[in-house]
Amino acid sequence: MRFDPAGRLVAVGGVGVSGRAAALALARLGADVIAVDARDGAEQRATAAELSAAGVRVRLGDATVLPDRVDLVVTSPGWRPDQPLLTAALRSGVEVIGEVELAWRLRPPGAAPWLAITGTNGKTTTTRMAAAMLGAAGRRVVAAGNVGTPLVDAVLTEPAPEVVVAELSSFQLHWSVSLACAAGALLNLAQDHLDWHGSFAAYTADKLKIWAGGLALGNRDDPEVAARLADVAGRTVAVTLGRPREGELGVEDGYLVDRAFAEAALLARVEDVRPSGPHHLANALAAAGLARSRGVEADAVARGLAGLRLEPHRGDVVATVDGVAYVDDSKATNPHAATASITAHTRVVWIVGGLLKGADLTPAVRAAADRLAGAVVVGVDRGAVLEALTRHAPQVPVVEVARTDTGAMDEAVTSAARLATPGTTVLLAPAAASMDMFRDYAERGEAFVAAVVALAARRR
């Protein structure tokens, strides 16, 4: 039976994108809603005014006290499990869910199936690819979740979508308890957000919720994913960059090939997958697997990839200056993503560092060492980066940028240019979050682009 929030007193934690959407949806459906947020800036006040006009009570500047008589809490994905209001709710027996779980419960009868995507890296790219393939097949599709559009908006919109492609982070999955998607893709598993989850085991357990209830799709080239895919009781589909076996999608003679939903269907040419690189090819195979699970024809897979335009800061070539390519992969916010980015290039000067979030950079440095022509280390956690480079890539020349204001990127690019020679790539793949110096990874990428443009102007 569909969840009915009418008459319930619900606290919504956080008034960001998902919190705002949850509060408005609940108020429209007759709930008594109080939204709380620890922040009290201009952005929060503007949202508070909108929520108040919709009948939501708002409390800014204090998000620690559980409101009286609340019988449900819908939390922001950014709130840690040890956040005081959440722990108070759980101690009192009040259920805590996230906006994703709320959206799942609010689905109308006959609602569109969800194709869900998670992983340490590649979620947004794969989500966009899958949505493009479904769209090319004429399906009315919405991409939602961590990709930007809140899922509560996606399930309550009119006209209703035929398919929902849901990008789900580990934070969102943590608070999901009844989610059962038609198909779920786990792209990869590596250490990330350990400061939030507490351990890799806890992080992994949340990621595995993507496989609850439906087709389980996973990357067999990733040992962590492959080991867990082997334990799934229901139907599984694997993707691989090698030749696919029966029940898999893979690569053969320069083509993406489906042997899971057909005997041997050619889906698209490898050279048509953009951005290029092994990790993006794996993303395309996962997206194709999800699309094919809903009956999308092979030619629609190819058309979807051909027409796809991805968001910036995901391996974009900004410019080539004096024979050196400058590549912006600011979205590589953890070591696993940075490793994938580096291995897409032959010789690299690596701009690395930021907020490591408890992650160990050692495996990334070991994997990258033979490709590194130099490294420029930035950010608040640069001490840990310098130590990893000294221990595991001692032959690599390193420049430390000690300043931590936003102007550090200009110095980093200038230093990288001095280390680079024609034929190498200066790669921004920080392996770390950006909030030590920038608002987000996009602002960091924009700073890199601006610094490269300025460098090119000076070299003319």
**66: DSSP letter:** P
Per-state percent for the chain, helix, strand, coil, to nearest 5: 40, 20, 40
Cα–Cα distance measured from residue 397 to residue 288, given in angstroms and rounded to the nearest whole number? 41
How far apart are the C-alpha atoms of 5 and 313, rounded to whole Å? 40
Cβ atoms 292, 427 nearer than 8 A: no
CA dihedral (84, 105, 194, 351) positive or negative: negative
- Residue 19 structure tokens: 């919190």
DSSP letters spanning 156-202 = H-SSPPSEEEEE--HHHHHT-SS---SEEEE-------HHHHSSHHH
Alpha-helix residue ranges (DSSP H) falling in 246-355: 278-293, 298-306, 335-342
The residues that bridge with 10 in the sheet, in sequence order, are 33, 72
pLDDT at 234: 93
Of 215, 195, 212, give the one whose Cα is nearest residue 203.
Answer: 195
- CA–chain centroid gap for 125, Å, is 8
Asked if the peptide bond before residue 430 counts as cis, ω within 30 degrees of 0, the response is no
Q: Are the beta carbons of 111 and 179 closer than 8 angstroms?
A: no
Name every residue whose Cβ is closer than 8 Å to that of residue 258 and which is 6 or more positions away in sequence.
244, 249, 264, 265, 267, 288, 289, 292, 298
**Which amino acid belongs to residue 31?**
A
| Whole-number pLDDT of residue 289 | 98
How much is the pLDDT for 437? 92
Q: Which residues contact 201 (CB under 8 A, 6 or more apart)?
A: none
Give dist(CA 279, CA 227) in Å, integer.
19
Alpha-carbon torsion 38, 41, 46, 52, what sign? positive
SS3 398: strand
| CB proximity list for 224: less than 8 A, separation 6 or greater | 188, 189, 190, 204
Report CA-CA distances (Å) from 213 to 25, 75, 180, 181.
Answer: 26, 24, 4, 6
Amino acid at 73: V
pLDDT of residue 449: 95
Q: Which of 205, 116, 230, 100 is nearest to 152 (CA)?
A: 100
Asked if 294 and 320 count as a contact pair (C-beta separation under 8 A), the reply is no
Please list the residues that pair with 184 across neighbouring strands. Answer: 116, 216
- Helix residue spans in 328-406 (DSSP H): 335-342, 362-368, 382-392
Q: Mind listing the domains of the chain with CATH numbers?
A: 9-102 (3.40.50.720), 107-306 (3.40.1190.10), 316-459 (3.90.190.20)
Query: What pLDDT sits at residue 1?
Result: 59
Q: What is the pLDDT along the chain (460 residues), one digit of tens a residue?
A: 578 999 999 999 999 999 999 999 999 999 999 999 999 999 999 999 999 999 999 999 999 999 999 999 999 998 999 999 999 999 999 999 999 999 999 999 889 999 999 998 889 999 999 999 999 999 999 999 988 789 999 999 888 999 999 999 999 999 999 999 999 999 999 877 778 888 999 999 999 999 998 999 999 999 999 999 999 999 999 999 999 999 999 999 999 999 999 999 999 999 999 877 888 899 999 999 999 999 999 999 999 999 888 778 888 889 999 999 999 999 999 998 899 899 889 999 999 999 998 888 999 999 999 999 999 999 999 999 999 999 999 999 999 999 988 789 999 999 999 999 999 999 999 999 999 999 899 999 999 999 999 999 998 7
Pair of tokens at residue 398: 């390193």
- DSSP, collapsed to helix, strand or coil, labels residue 374 as strand
Kindly report the number of other CB atoms within 10 A of residue 439's CB atom.
11
Query: What does the block give as tokens for 244?
Result: 């696919």
Give me 424's structure tokens: 């190498």
